[in-house]
Homo-oligomer: A and B are copies of this chain.
Amino acid sequence: MSNPAKAIGVDFGGTGIKPAVVQAGVIIQRGEKVDTRSHIAAGTLFDALFNAIAALRRDHPDVVAVGVGLPGFVDTDKGLVHGLANVPGWDEVPLLKMLRERTGLRAAIENDANAMAYAEFRHGAARGATNALCITLGTGVGGGLILDGRLYRGSRFAAGELGHTSIDLHGPRGVYGTPGDLEVYVGNRNIAERASRLYVASGNVRSPEECTPADLDKLAQAGDPIALAMWDTLGTEIGAALTNAVWLLNPDTIVVGGGIAAAGKLIFSPIRRTLRDRTSKLFNEQLRLVAAALGNDAGILGCAELALEAGE
């Protein structure tokens, strides 16, 4: 049997370009990480991208496909990128065509949250799922959907924005004006500010900088009651948003990734309890709630996979 085909996956963010060669769902070589900020200033961002790809192809001339994941709105039908976080002037960039023409390889471009969901589906925690919801918890809260065994993108390629769904129609407003926007409750910065306020109120002053998810994890492990209560509240809030998605989509798998997923049982227990208490048996008895398996590599792996599956 021949070896599985190799592809290059590129995690193309507003601050860094991370390229790697992928084979059979595993990164076999990482390229040098490129700091994009100087290239943005100099207008040489695409040169940096194609140089990074070319460097990896010198070591792996048998690469057959290249996929790029970006944190913006990516029109996968037309192959266009509409805006990229931190990169002014990106509007309707025909990146798919550029990739094909400049590499001669088959290619794919994809929103990074979708790429991560697809990687978890093909090679990670959602393997074997038919309908999976992936949520990533960080400074922002993002998500991606696998429905009927395929990546679901929505009518403007923007589906899966679980971070902007509301858990309280009269709650505090998020960046798009949505009252009760989940990110306002469980985005990392908001967690830190909420926890800090609780500590200050208790007379045990901690600054927001001392209330990162990692800090709260350590404090809770040591039995600190405020940290324990905070995790329970966060899990209930995340669980409330996931409950809505479960009633709507009746998935078999939910994958939770990102910084606060590292807190393990502290966050998974209240999420699981909330899902069980707020949905019916038909919806929750067959539902797997699992931690993401691929970490920060998911974006690279997902767009490499999508590129391999893309047409010529």
Chain A residues engaging chain B, CB cutoff 8 angstroms = 73, 130-131, 143, 145, 147-148, 150, 152-162, 164-170, 176-180, 236-237, 240, 243-245, 247-252, 277-280, 282-283, 286
Question: What copy number does this chain have within its complex?
Answer: 2
Query: Is B250 touching A177 in the complex (CB atoms < 8 A)?
Result: no
Task: Say how far A201's CB is from chain B's closest CB, in angstroms.
Answer: 20
A264 to B1, CA, bound (A): 64
- Are A245 and B248 touching (Cβ within 8 A)? yes
Residues A73 and B237 in contact, CB atoms below 8 Å apart: no
Given A237-B169, A248-B161, A252-B155, are A278 and B243 also a contact pair (CB < 8 Å)? no
Return A114 CB to nearest CB of chain B, in Å: 11
The listed residue (B143, B160, B243) touching A166 by CB distance below 8 A is B243
Name the residue among A162, A168, A169, A177 with the largest chain B CB count within 10 angstroms.
Answer: A169
The distance from the CB of A132 to the nearest CB of chain B, in whole angstroms, is 9
Nearest B residue (CB) for A143: B248
A155 contacts which chain B residues (CB < 8 A)?
130-131, 250-252, 286
Report the 4 A-B pairs with minimum CB-CB distance, sorted nearest first: A154-B250, A169-B240, A155-B252, A159-B250
Bound-complex Cα distance A155 to B244 (A): 15
CB of B152 within 8 A of CB of A240, answer no
Closest to A168 in B: B168
CB distance from A236 to the nearest CB of B (A): 7
Do A248 and B176 have beta carbons less than 8 Å apart? no
Residues in B neighbouring A165, C-beta threshold 8 A: 243-244, 247-248
A148 to B192 CA separation, bound complex (whole angstroms) = 39
Taking the closest CB of chain B, its distance from the CB of A143, in whole angstroms, is 8
A166 adjacent to B251 (CB under 8 Å): no
Residue in contact with A244 in the complex, picked from B147, B160, B166, CB distance below 8 Å: B166
**B contact residues around A277 at 8 Å (CB):** 177
Determine the chain B residues whose CB is within 8 A of the CB of A247 once the complex forms. Answer: 161-162, 164-165, 178
